[in-house]
Amino acid sequence: MVEFLTDMTTYFSDILNDAGALAPFLSTLLIYLEGILAFLPLFVFVGINTVTMGPILGNLLAWVATVLGCFTTFLLTSSILSDWVYDHIKDNEKLLRFHDLVKNLKFRQLVLLIAIPFVPSFFMNVGAGLAKISKKKYFAALLLGKIFVVIFLSYICTSLIESITNPIKLLEVLGLIVAAYLIARIVNKKFNIDKEF
């Protein structure tokens, strides 16, 4: 797995190095596509955005691109596959229970899951789409949760391996995740998102 990630990083880094001045825009487009195509390495593109455009503009573009990419996957799944999947699982009690569990996730729980950098966003987007979570609720959760993912990935863009093996970085990740959860609770309490959507 580590070797695969290293190879992917090298491959995309070479492509973006050859792109010259277009590299930041290409990496932003690739961040958007990562929300749709799960195999793309988000941390590489976020890192490139941070290095080439600076932490503010680079992170802002990465945040917008990843939110839009994830929401695109969510919308496509919700509109194309959700009814078909529901028809095939409605007689299976275990799958139906899991479907309902996902559908009834609270706003703060969604934000928490989205904010964890190592939770595959593609599966979150598809799962939320299949469960037909409210579009407004999921978009709001993406807007909030992805801020923490982008900040974290930007911070550790030097190496995914370092973030896994360095206990200090893991504590920092935990701090970001706790912050995401607490902010989600505050936002939910202020705007009553769970009841509104």
What pLDDT score does 98 carry?
A: 80
Q: Count Cβ atoms within 10 A of the Cβ of residue 91 and give its class: 0-12 exposed, 13-18 middle, 19 or more buried.
A: exposed
What pLDDT score does 65 carry?
A: 96
pLDDT, block means (10 residues), the chain with 197 residues: 60 72 82 86 79 84 95 95 83 81 90 86 90 94 94 70 62 77 81 67
What pLDDT score does 3 carry?
A: 64
What pLDDT score does 9 carry?
A: 62
What pLDDT score does 125 carry?
A: 94
27 vs 184: CA distance, rounded Å: 29
72 vs 55: CA distance, rounded Å: 25
For the chain, give every domain's residue range: 2-196
Q: Is the pTM of this model over 0.85?
A: no
Contacts of 117 (CB under 8 A, 6+ apart): 148, 149, 152, 153, 163, 173
DSSP 152: H
